[in-house]
Structure 1
Amino acid sequence: MNEWQGLSEFIAVAETESFTRASQQLKISTAQVSRQIQWLEERLGVKLFYRTTRRVSLTEAGQLYYQSCRPLQDALHDAERSLSQLQSIPQGTLRVTAPVTYGERQLMPVLNRFLQEYPQLSLSCDLTNKKMDLVEGNYDIAIRLGRLENEDLVAHRLGTRRLYTCASATYIDHHGSPDTLSELSRHSCLVGTLDYWRFRDSRGERMIRIHGRLRCNSGAALTDAAQRGLGIVQLPDYYVKPYLDDGSLREILPNFAPADEGIWAMYLPGRQLSPKVRILLDYLAAHL
């Protein structure tokens, strides 16, 4: 018994609500579609469709069967496509979106090297701090940083970023360095888009509300302000690590540093990844 017999015809009729349109989609005769559906109903012992002169619709049993069969057909197509793509050369255009500063400082140098190594591929990259819709923008991958919201996307972890709390030697000489989280309230903090900072102590994660003379949604501007001694800042490593390394900034409250945050590649669920997307994901995971 061929358990797949009639499955393609059944799904086509269920989705087109027409034996004629199903036959056109499958490029077979309407009579053949009808025979396969009849055979399937006899084998299953249930009626799958209501038929009238005007329309074809699923019965309750047909709806249940369709919900189970559709993923099976998709999986079969994906399996066949993955075999055909196994030896294929990745080609075409990749569309990627990522946050601006992370994209400029971390991502684009890696992507530029990727293009050098894979000259048959092209890249379209939108750097924006706006969370872009992958379907609407036709993106293959979206880079997300930090904590993920509940999104109907697949998350592929590429690496981590670390948040540093730091200040300049000038600020520390004039105002001292806090030793506890409670002492932050007596200091001038450089405020970004959020009015709290993340820390971690023996009780777990802590959110500490902060205040100061300067608020700005630019990490680069806050880094400059910190270097000038205007206050304490908390920023990801790609903003401040070079200045921590050369000594122009010093880490504050290292014993309370929060856990590292994830760097993620997000993509749409449900289908086998194309070779070009798979090879880009592997490359980013290896080089970021």
Structure 2
Amino acid sequence: MNEPLEKMAIFAAIAEHGSFTGAAQALGRSKSHVSASLSRLEEELGLQLMHRTTRSLSLTEAGKVYLKHCQELVRSAAEGRQAIRSLQEEMVGHISISASPSFGETHVYPLLSAFKELYPQVTINLDQSDGLVDLKSGDFDLAFRGGRVVNPDRGGHGLDPDLVAIPLVKGHMIVVATPDYLAAEGTPHHPDDLRHHNCIGTDFEVNNLGWPFLIDGEIKRRTVPCDFTVQRNSLIKIRTLQSHGIGWMPSYILDRELRAGELVLLLTDYQSPPFDIYLTYAYQKVLPLRQRRLVDFIKAHFADMDTIEIR
């Protein structure tokens, strides 16, 4: 680093660590070098940047203004180094991905397996959870999520400006039952008919939130009777296939069963609009090569798929 830029970086380090000693340790320089660098910088600028006492350092008004520019310089230099390193990286390292259990099993796992075949030196962790994960904590690199991309620090509300959200595909929540169940109990033709059937879903959706339907041009929710609630789409699917009732779940886990006629699609005239499925990650100016390759791989897979079809 040339001398003017070095002095700016040293000043930023002094402000960050609050002392000459802390800055010197962080930079691997002597305390005297750090102190002298600040003095030379102030002399060149003709302004005092920091108040000095025997016990503390504090920024002057000029120092506060100048510090912002110095910090931006340090950040830009670090990003530049990372950009160059990414060009030289090999496809090695670890990637941790979060996805809901149902979408993870049906779509994400096959994708990651194919990616792993291409890049065997990359290690992968797929975490399957319905809960929101904090992508800014560093525990996860990528996440697949349906609906809006929210900030868990705000209780799950509000779009998160610190995340990149790439819309991949649209999904549907659908109502289904087996032919045997319908033969025995009859076929509902309107959402209100569900009150006469046993339904299968999660406790919150069945008893509190209600299933959403498009009725008279508006989304209206209906709570439905249910004698056995579960917390996973995979279990809703199993009980529905066992003819215990009418199930409500994502279309993307039912492709084979709908094709084979094992399940019948119901109430299609009242189906709620599709929801977006996103690939999300914390914003970075320069992504590590392995993460950038995986993002491109995922985008290419979904590029020609507008909606996960209902067969």
Normalized against structure 1, the TM-score is what? 0.84
Candidates 156, 181, 192, aligned match of 1:171: 181
Query: Equivalents in 2 of 1:34, 1:5: separation in Å?
Result: 13
Distance 1:207 1:79 in 2: 51
Structure 2 match to 1:141: 142
1:66 Cα shift?
3.3
Give 1:102's aligned residue. Answer: 103
- What secondary structure, in the 3-state scheme, does the structure 2 residue paired with 1:215 have? coil
Distance 2:6 2:254 in 1: 62
**Structure 1 gaps, min length 5:** none
Aligned to 2:190: 180
Question: Counterpart of 2:250?
Answer: 236
Distance 2:73 2:181 in 1: 63
How much does 1:81 deviate? 1.7
**Is 2:9–2:70's contact at 8 Å kept on the other side of the alignment?**
no
Query: CA offset at residue 14 of structure 1?
Result: 0.6
Within the candidate set 268, 286, 292, 1:278 is matched to: 292
What's 1:218 paired with? 232
Q: Could you tell me which of 156, 163, 166 is aligned with 1:154?
A: 163
CA distance in 2, matches of 1:272, 1:88: 13
**Closer, same or farther: CA 261–43 of 1 in aligned 2, 3 Å:** farther
Tell me if structure 1 keeps the 8 A contact 2:9–2:71: no
Amino acid at match of 2:260: D
The whole-number CA distance in structure 1 between the counterparts of 2:41 and 2:170 is 52
Distance 1:201 1:68 in 2: 56
Query: 1:6 matched to which residue of 2?
Result: 7
Distance in 1 (CA, whole Å) between partners of 2:43 and 2:265 is 74
Judged with a 3 Å threshold, the aligned counterparts in structure 2 of structure 1 residues 155 and 216 are, in CA distance, closer, same or farther, namely: same
SS in 2 for 1:97: strand
Contact 1:191 1:210 in 2 (8 A): no
Separation in 2, partners of 1:62, 1:160: 51
Q: Check whether the contact 1:161–1:260 (CA below 8 A) recurs between aligned residues.
A: yes
How many residues are matched?
287
| Cα contact 1:163–1:236 (8 A) shared by 2 | yes
Identify the residue that residue 306 of structure 2 maps to in structure 1: none
Change (3 A) 1:111 1:173: same
Structure 2 SS opposite 1:238: helix
* 3-state secondary structure, aligned to 1:139: coil
Question: Do the aligned partners of 2:92 and 2:121 also contact (CA within 8 Å) in 1?
Answer: yes
Paired amino acid for 1:48? L
For residue 124 of structure 1, what is the aligned residue in structure 2? 125
- Structure 2: runs of 5 or more not aligned: 153-159, 303-311
| TM-score (norm. length: structure 2) | 0.78
RMSD: 2.9
SS of structure 2 residue aligned to 1:178: coil
Amino-acid identity (%): 28
Cα distance 1:40–1:159, how it changes in 2: closer, same or farther (>3 A)? farther
Matched, 1:192 2:202: yes
User: Which stretch shows the higher mean deviation, 87-96 or 147-156?
Assistant: 147-156
Contact 1:164–1:240, Cα closer than 8 Å, also in 2: no
8 Å contact from structure 1 (residues 19, 34) kept in 2:
yes
Quote the residue 1:22 is aligned against: 23
Distance 1:281 1:216 in 2: 33
